[in-house]
Structure 1
Amino acid sequence: MAIGKKGLHGWPSGKIGRIVYYELNGQPVMRGIGKPGKPSLKQQANHQSMAVTTRFLSQLKDFINNGFELETRGTIRNQHNLAVSQIKKNALQGAYPNISINYKSVQLSKGTLINPNDLRMEKTSAGLQISWDSAYSYGTGAQYDDTLQLAVCFPAIGKKKIELNFAKRKDGTAFLDLSEEEVQQPMEVYLFLRAANHDSVSDTVYLGNLNGTYEDPKITEFKEKKRGLDLQFNLRYEQISTQYEAQMKLKPAARLSGKVFRNLETEYLVLLDQWRSRQAKTRGF
């Protein structure tokens, strides 16, 4: 049941039939309720894409709020929506059921503020040393007190470390303390700058990976299994094609008996078709 908050002719709030009415950032919105059925492969891929994206963005709320706040001003969208959209469009890799994050392509902020030059990252036994060129020019909009926002992601343990006001542009260097466990974990490091008056931000800079790229064990297991199946297929294809080609070199009367040869030929043609299909996928056709 929906409620008309502003009388009979006002925008309803709630469910009427198979339509749900609600407000989003002050704007009236409605959506249909579909009858759930068995999801298609495309739907399953979309579900996994959303799950991977949501998992990556967990614990990054304050970071992306700062990064996309200017982009959402005057719109009905919010920072989380923009971050989800950016990642799903540009920062996912692989096909279902092995979709994962392409960390190099992640953007968690968008703006025109100029990032510093000569950004560097060095790991020590106690944490991360971040350094950059502290020079700035007033004519470009850069200021000495632009604040550096830092995010360190630890995919293997599902943890994020966020520093919203890590340092000022003029500092040129800053150190992030990490625990002994964190120092040893795979890390993906991002930063951007935000003006002190909050009127501008920079695009995200991917500082890079430390301690090797993490891969979900389920994806690793799937790849190992696929490699094993591919090896079995290649061995069988080689065996059957060798037998078939040897038979084709003989005169019809000298070949295997009719039924045995037909079975061999049928299996060869099926494997040949599968081999060609695999080759086309490998080449990207």
Structure 2
Amino acid sequence: MGKLLGGIYGPTTGTTGNLTSYVLNGQNIIRMRAHSRTRSSERQLDNEMRMKVISDFFFHMKPILKAGFGPAAKNTTKNYYNIAVSYNKKHALKGFYPNVEVDYPNVLLSDGDLLPAENPVAKRVSGGIEFTWDTDGFAWGNGADQVMVLAYFPESGRREMFCYGARRMEGREFLPLQDNQMEQPAETYISFISPDRSEVARSIYLGQV
């Protein structure tokens, strides 16, 4: 991959021969077009299935992934979604083709150096899921951080989330659910993001509720 700083004859986009050019985060990028290969080996099939499984899992999760990996992608040629897929494809899947599945405890929805949630808990309550965390022991400047929560329902493939919820100082967030979701098991996650969206915490898996 090469960077065309202003392009050979100025910024370029599109495909010419075996080269594809595009602009990403303000930088002109040029790549060699990939050549198609026969999909025959189990390793290739396993890789394709892993990409499909993680892509299906992340379907409709882009808002929280953008919040969670956007800071890591800033000022780079990387995209927040590609960072999320790359990490989770490697660390949050289990099994081998054709039996690849999501390893929920190892899923990461955000990654950064912000203070993570202290002793977080997710539990079923009337009408939804209640997320709680300790409000002692953090610097006052972190009190305005906003919580990010997600509940994923394996039976239906649905997900409910708040990307910018209650402040850290409040110690509680309520995620309302539809009636048909109340009896379904849910995989739950929590993280925090700074008010200016420049910093995030590493997400924590809270278990199935």
The structural deviation recorded for 1:64 is: 0.9
Following superposition of structure 1 onto structure 2, how do residues 1-285 of structure 1 map, counting pairs within 5 Å? 9-10=9-10, 12-25=12-25, 26-138=27-139, 143-210=142-209
Whether the 8 Å contact between 1:21 and 1:29 is mirrored in structure 2 is yes
Letter in 2 for 1:156: E
Cα shift at 1:27: 2.9
Overall identity of the aligned pairs, in %: 29
Task: Give the Å deviation of 1:51.
Answer: 0.3
The higher radius of gyration belongs to 1
Aligned-partner Cα distance in 1 for 2:196–2:24: 27
The secondary structure found in structure 1 opposite 2:13 is: strand
Alpha-carbon distance between aligned partners in 2 of 1:80 and 1:180, rounded to the nearest angstrom: 31
Q: Residues 186, 31 of structure 1: CA spacing in aligned structure 2 closer, same or farther, 3 A cutoff?
A: farther
CA 11–172 in structure 1, closer or farther in 2 if over 3 Å, else same: closer
Name the aligned partner's letter for residue 46 of structure 1: N
Distance in 1 (CA, whole Å) between partners of 2:144 and 2:75 is 27
**Secondary structure in 2 aligned to 1:81?**
helix
Between structures 1 and 2, the one with greater helix share: 1
TM-score, reference length from structure 2? 0.88
Determine the structure 2 residue equivalent to 1:218: none
Work out whether residues 12 and 28 of structure 2, in 8 Å CA contact, stay in contact via their aligned partners in 1.
no
Higher relative CO (Cα under 8 Å, sequence separation at least 6) belongs to 2
Choose between structure 1 and 2: higher strand proportion. 2
Report which stretch shifted further, 122-131 or 96-105.
122-131
What is the CA RMSD across the aligned residues, in angstroms?
Answer: 2.0
> 1 CA distance for matches of 2:57 and 2:163?
18
Change (3 A) 1:111 1:33: closer
Distance in 2, Cα, partners of 1:128 & 1:157: 17
For residues 44-97 of structure 1, the C-alpha deviation after alignment (integer angstroms, 9 at most, x for no partner) is: 111100000101111111101111111111100011011001111111100100
- CA distance 1:78–1:38, shift in 2 (3 Å): closer
Counterpart-to-counterpart distance in 2, 1:7 and 1:157: 48
The superposition leaves residues 8-40 of structure 1 with CA deviations (integer Å, 9 ceiling, x where unpaired) of 734643333333333333232212231342432
The alignment covers a number of residue pairs equal to 203
Preserved contact between residue 13 and residue 20 of structure 1 (Cα < 8 Å): yes
Query: What does the per-residue CA deviation read over 1:136-180, in whole Å, with 9 as the maximum and x for residues that have no partner?
Result: 432xx7521111011111122121111122211111122222122
